[in-house]
Amino acid sequence: MLENDQAGRGDQIGRGYHVLVVDDDLITLRSVERILSVRGFTVTTETNGLRALSSLQTLSVDALLVDLVMPGISGIDLLKRIREMDDRMQVVMMTAFGDVDSAVTALKAGAHDFLNKPFESADALALAVYKAAEHFRLLSRARDLEKELEIHERYGDIVGSSAPMVEVYRMVESVAHSMATVLLQGESGTGKELVARAIHNRGPRARAPFIPVNCSAIPETLVEAELFGHVKGAFTGAVESRMGLFEAARGGTILLDEIGDLPLQTQVKLLRTLQDGEIKRVGSNETVRVDTRVIAASNIDLQDAMERGAFRRDLFYRLSVITISLPPLRQRPEDIPLIAYHFLKKYAARSGRSITRISLETMQALRAHSWPGNVRELENAMERAVVMAREETILPGDLPAQIADVRPSQPSAELMLDLPFAEAKKRAVEAFESAYVENMLKRAGGNVSEAARQAGLDRSNFRRIARKFGQ
């Protein structure tokens, strides 16, 4: 069929791609199958449109090559049916009766490309199919990322798909419709207030107030009046009666952040409120019923505080009916790329800038940083990067100096010898995979398909490993 049918046999351009070819001409069908197969494509063939539609119910393909003129269902009708099934599917049309009108009709119907038979060359045919398949993969990847972000953005700025975060999401869903008191424990910047808001917003109190209180920011002499309110004349400066935050949050949720900083005397009154559902304003003997859900949060170990006598044991057990531990960012580095892109999207939209990418070197710097300030620090870094960026891609120089200057370090064999075998093996494999993928991408000039080809891996598998390390 083509004079240069043998050309390109060493070029596995189609490796990892599955193509469905539909043509009622058996000679053309076998010739195209041979051309594509020797270039690495997996090829399935059908002789009519109905059989092709039936095959698509069970096959997972990256592109279709469809003849325009066929008995029964025409190529154009088949194209329309395929696009209705999945608008990501890419179809290359071909015909021996090609003309401008046919090409325009096919492209308007959603064809990715249009080829005339006989083909210009075997390589031209393979390249057209490759581009269609690659476009399908790009659309699929974009849709997957959008869905992943949609799933996580249901929780606002709580983003992550690591095992510890999946457990946090599960706990949020479990406790949202309960009245049980929840204790959130985690380092500063891990998102305790965000999780508290998620619990409130996903429960029956969502339309009622959510009031966060930073217990460490209230002077010790005023903390009881702030929480429980006061009557006129209760103390110097109390010129009028005032309700406290527990009353203001009635019907809703109050978050007592940094609860470990509450004075012991206030802890006693808080315990009584939790037990009886009542408060007394400072200077008053009257009790007031409050239907307020309490969520407490702490960035210190409350059990250690109990041992030091700084926190009441009975209050701890009342607060920790359900405990949710929020992992520090350094313990879930696989979430860094997703979080970084989340904040890139957020601040680029807020500033009206078309910044859409994070360079490989920048992502490596983000992954190498220890993040003592956790997600809050990463958010601040990405907000700064969006402001400083001069291109559509975030570069290392756009990051704060203490992050941009960090370079990835590989764990040494000596350090890993002290680890349990499974953990040492895991770290060694991760170090190898990260270095190997980075090297392959550099050799291929950042082209994922070429890097996967050189590595001898299916593109999707190579891409999965690369994403694991933010590359």
In this structure, what are the phi and psi dihedrals at residue 185, rounded to the nearest 5 degrees? -120, 135
Six token digits for residue 131: 């581009």
User: Largest alpha-carbon pair distance within the chain?
Assistant: 101
CATH placement of domain 410-471: 1.10.10
Q: For helices 448-455 and 459-468, give the axis angle rounded to 10 degrees.
A: 110
Asked if residues 252 and 205 have their Cβ atoms less than 8 Å apart, the reply is: yes
Rounded to 5, what percent of the chain is helix, strand, coil?
50, 15, 35
* Full-model pTM: 0.58
Q: Going from the first residue of the chain to its last (471 residues), give the mean pLDDT of each consecutive group of 10, the final group possibly shorter.
A: 45 86 93 94 93 91 92 90 90 81 83 89 92 84 63 70 89 92 95 94 93 93 91 81 92 96 94 92 90 95 91 94 95 89 92 87 88 95 95 91 69 46 65 78 78 82 74 60
> What are the CA-CA distances from residue 54 to residues 49, 67, 274 (Å)?
9, 17, 63
pLDDT at 146: 60
Bridge partners of 358, per DSSP, are: 394
Vertex 263 angle, CA 260 and 268, to 5°: 95
Q: What is the DSSP letter of 410?
A: P
Range(s) within the chain of domains with CATH label 1.10.10: 410-471
In this structure, what are the phi and psi dihedrals at residue 466, rounded to the nearest 5 degrees? -60, -45
Quote the CA–CA distance of 320 and 173 in Å, as a whole number: 17
Range(s) within the chain of domains with CATH label 3.40.50.300: 163-327
Which residues, including other chains, have CB under 8 Å from residue 144's CB and lie 6 or more apart? none
pLDDT at 471: 60
Quote the CA–CA distance of 124 and 102 in Å, as a whole number: 20
Cis peptide before 118 (omega within 30 of 0): yes
CATH class of 163-327: alpha beta
Range(s) within the chain of domains with CATH label 3.40.50.2300: 18-148
Nearest residue to 313 via CA among 258, 268, 266: 268
Per the listing, tokens 């957020």 go with 346
Pairs from 426-430 (Cβ < 8 Å, separation ≥ 24) = 430/469
pLDDT at 412: 44
Asked if residues 44 and 20 have their Cβ atoms less than 8 Å apart, the reply is: yes
Asked if residues 5 and 31 have their Cβ atoms less than 8 Å apart, the reply is: yes
Asked if residues 175 and 311 have their Cβ atoms less than 8 Å apart, the reply is: no
Q: How many Cα atoms are found within 13 Å in the side-chain-facing hemisphere of 443? A: 13
Quote the CA–CA distance of 62 and 43 in Å, as a whole number: 10
> Cα 299 to the chain's mean position, in Å?
25
Quote the CA–CA distance of 429 and 434 in Å, as a whole number: 9
Quote the CA–CA distance of 189 and 67 in Å, as a whole number: 58
> What are the CA-CA distances from residue 280 to residues 17, 243, 248, 277, 313 (Å)?
71, 10, 14, 11, 23
- How buried is residue 16: exposed, middle or buried, by Cβ count under 10 Å (0-12/13-18/19+)? buried
- How buried is residue 350: exposed, middle or buried, by Cβ count under 10 Å (0-12/13-18/19+)? exposed
Q: How many Cα atoms are found within 13 Å in the side-chain-facing hemisphere of 446? A: 4
Q: Does domain 18-148 have CATH number 3.40.190.10?
A: no
Per the listing, tokens 């696989």 go with 334
pLDDT at 461: 77
Asked if residues 83 and 109 have their Cβ atoms less than 8 Å apart, the reply is: yes
- Full DSSP string of 318-341: HHTTEEEEPPPGGG-GGGHHHHHH
> What are the CA-CA distances from residue 145 to residues 149, 152, 161, 339 (Å)?
6, 11, 12, 12
> Cα 45 to the chain's mean position, in Å?
37
Quote the CA–CA distance of 184 and 272 in Å, as a whole number: 21
CATH class of 329-408: mainly alpha
Range(s) within the chain of domains with CATH label 1.10.8.60: 329-408
Asked if residues 277 and 315 have their Cβ atoms less than 8 Å apart, the reply is: no
pLDDT at 5: 47
Which DSSP helix (H) or strand (E) runs through 43? strand 42-46
Nearest residue to 46 via CA among 68, 72, 23, 69: 23
Q: What is the DSSP letter of 232?
A: T
pLDDT at 369: 92
